């Protein structure tokens, strides 16, 4: 990680202007490259003690100063005191009109503090560029940003830097001392990728991709983790790349759960089916047995025969139509006496015999 030291100078000559009491928060010459006809947003950080002071954007090209909270057709300067910065948005950029040096400045009691300076260069093919100037993620998640550089910058040092404190990360280096880490990989063919993992809310802010002195800004917004997140890592899409690690992890967990529970559910379902079949067969068998008993019971009938004393004797007859035929019933008859009601008394001189018929089914 490279940290640029804060330097102080007593004055800076800007054209015919003299800026006194300057505090410079960045060293070196920064070259911001933008595509012709495009736009760019530049962050200007300042110390918290300057929250209520006047801030402005100074152009050395036309010696103009644009104060904060000014919006024009192709230029907007907006203060964000809660973040200790103001942003400058320039639109429809043309090399003949906008190429030149610019400064972020704060006016303090007649003196001026320059917080950031750069050289803006408009090109048809920018030396360093990104697809979008903003990317967002969730707390604990990941983001990836792809930065492009021209062939002339192939051998230059590639970095991902934070505007606020000028902390930079180079290719192949990872900051393991913080919760979030940064990994940069260069494909050597005109682009390098920045991967930030384990995002924190405090990671929100402005960064820039750089190759040598050429750079291009990117705004990172980290939102709070969504409730009900399955994994500590939340998948986020960067400027060009998609990181599907979390989706794969969740899919793997779901597959493991299915592997464990599906056999158990299948066994339980089979057991319920067996119990249902057994219960149904048992009830059916029980009904059949009751029906057979009822048939045998109901096959017994009793007839009352009136006879006289002089009537011949009566015998019981067993019907053996075909003893070997299992489909034929065997019929028995029995003659018996039993008391009868008054209404059933026989004619004078007669007797009552009860003939009981029973049918025996072969077994």
For residues 73, 93, 103 and 155, what is the CA-based torsion angle, rounded to 10 degrees?
Answer: 150
Residues 231, 144 share a domain: yes
CATH number for the domain harbouring residue 36: 2.60.40.10
Residues 3, 99 share a domain: yes
Give the integer Cα–Cα distance in Å for 155 and 193. 16
Residues 102, 13 share a domain: yes
Percent share of the chain, pLDDT over 70: 60
Do the Cβ atoms of 145 and 238 come closer than 8 Å? yes
Please write the tens of the pLDDT for every residue from 65-114.
Answer: 999 999 999 999 999 999 999 999 999 999 999 999 999 999 988 888 89
Give the integer Cα–Cα distance in Å for 136 and 201. 11
DSSP strand E in 284-324: where?
301-308
The distance from CA 299 to its chain's CA centroid, rounded to whole angstroms, is: 75
> Average pLDDT, whole number, for the chain?
75
Which are the contacts of 143, defined by CB distance < 8 A and separation ≥ 6?
Answer: 135, 136, 137, 195, 196, 199, 220, 236, 237, 238, 243
Q: Which of 74-78, 227-231, 317-321 has the highest mean pLDDT?
A: 74-78
Q: What is the 3-state secondary structure (H, E, C) of 325-339?
A: CCCCCEEEEEEECCC
Please write the tens of the pLDDT for every residue from 189-215.
Answer: 999 999 999 999 999 999 999 999 999
- Picking from 206, 226, 243, the residue at the C-terminal end of a domain is 243
- Picking from 271, 298, 325, the residue at the C-terminal end of a domain is 298
- Picking from 125, 146, 167, the residue at the C-terminal end of a domain is 125
pLDDT at residue 262 tops 50:
yes
Question: By three-state DSSP, how is residue 254 classified?
Answer: helix
What tokens were used for 133? 């100037």
Residues 271, 304 share a domain: no
Please write the tens of the pLDDT for every residue from 31-71.
Answer: 999 999 999 999 999 999 999 999 999 999 899 999 999 99
What's the average model confidence in pLDDT over 161-173? 87
DSSP strand E in 212-325: where?
214-223, 301-308
**pLDDT in the model for residue 273:** 92
Number of domains present in the structure of the chain: 4
State which residues form the domain around 37: 1-125
Residues 231, 256 share a domain: no
Residues 191, 145 share a domain: yes
Residues 164, 141 share a domain: yes
Between residues 343 and 113, which one has the greater pLDDT? Answer: 113
pLDDT at residue 285 tops 90:
no
Main-chain dihedrals φ then ψ at residue 64, nearest 5 degrees: -105, 150
Between residues 14 and 291, which one has the greater pLDDT? Answer: 291
Residues 185, 227 share a domain: yes
Residues 120, 2 share a domain: yes
Of the listed ranges 19-33, 39-53, 294-308, the one predicted with least confidence: 294-308
Residues 281, 180 share a domain: no
Residues 53, 32 share a domain: yes
Beta-bridge partner residues of 346: none
Residues 176, 272 share a domain: no
């Amino acid at each position: 990680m490279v940290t640029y030291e804060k330097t102080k100078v007593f004055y800076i000559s800007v054209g015919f202007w003299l800026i006194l009491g300057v505090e410079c928060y960045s060293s070196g010459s920064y070259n911001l490259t933008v595509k012709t006809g495009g736009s760019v947003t530049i962050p200007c950080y300042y110390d918290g003690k300057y929250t209520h002071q006047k801030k402005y954007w100074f152009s050395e090209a036309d010696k103009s100063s644009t104060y904060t909270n000014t919006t024009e057709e192709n230029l907007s300067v907006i203060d964000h005191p809660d973040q200790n910065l103001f942003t400058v948005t320039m639109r429809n950029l043309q090399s003949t009109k906008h190429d030149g040096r610019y400064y972020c400045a704060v006016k303090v009691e007649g003196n001026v503090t320059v917080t950031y300076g750069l050289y803006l260069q408009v090109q048809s093919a920018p030396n360093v560029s990104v697809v979008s100037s903003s990317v967002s993620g969730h707390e604990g998640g990941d983001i990836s940003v792809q930065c492009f550089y021209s062939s002339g910058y192939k051998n230059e040092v590639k970095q991902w830097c934070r505007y606020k404190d000028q902390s930079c990360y180079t290719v192949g280096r990872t900051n393991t001392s913080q919760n979030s880490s940064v990994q940069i990989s260069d494909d050597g063919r005109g682009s390098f990728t920045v991967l930030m993992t384990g995002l924190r809310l405090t990671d929100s802010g402005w960064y820039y991709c750089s190759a040598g002195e050429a750079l291009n800004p990117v705004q990172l917004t980290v939102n709070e983790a969504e409730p009900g997140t399955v994994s500590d890592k939340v998948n986020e899409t960067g400027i060009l790349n998609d990181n599907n690690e979390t989706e794969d992890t969740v899919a793997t967990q779901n597959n493991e759960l299915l592997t464990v529970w599906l056999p158990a559910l299948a066994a339980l379902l089979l057991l319920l089916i067996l119990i249902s079949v057994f219960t149904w067969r048992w009830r059916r068998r029980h009904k059949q047995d009751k029906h057979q008993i009822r048939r045998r019971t109901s096959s017994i009938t009793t007839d009352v025969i009136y006879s006289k004393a002089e009537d011949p004797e009566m015998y019981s007859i067993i019907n053996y139509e075909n003893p070997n035929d299992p489909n034929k019933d065997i019929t028995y008859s029995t003659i018996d006496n039993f008391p009868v009601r008054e209404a059933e008394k026989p004619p004078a001189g007669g007797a009552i015999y009860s003939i009981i018929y029973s049918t025996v089914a072969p077994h």
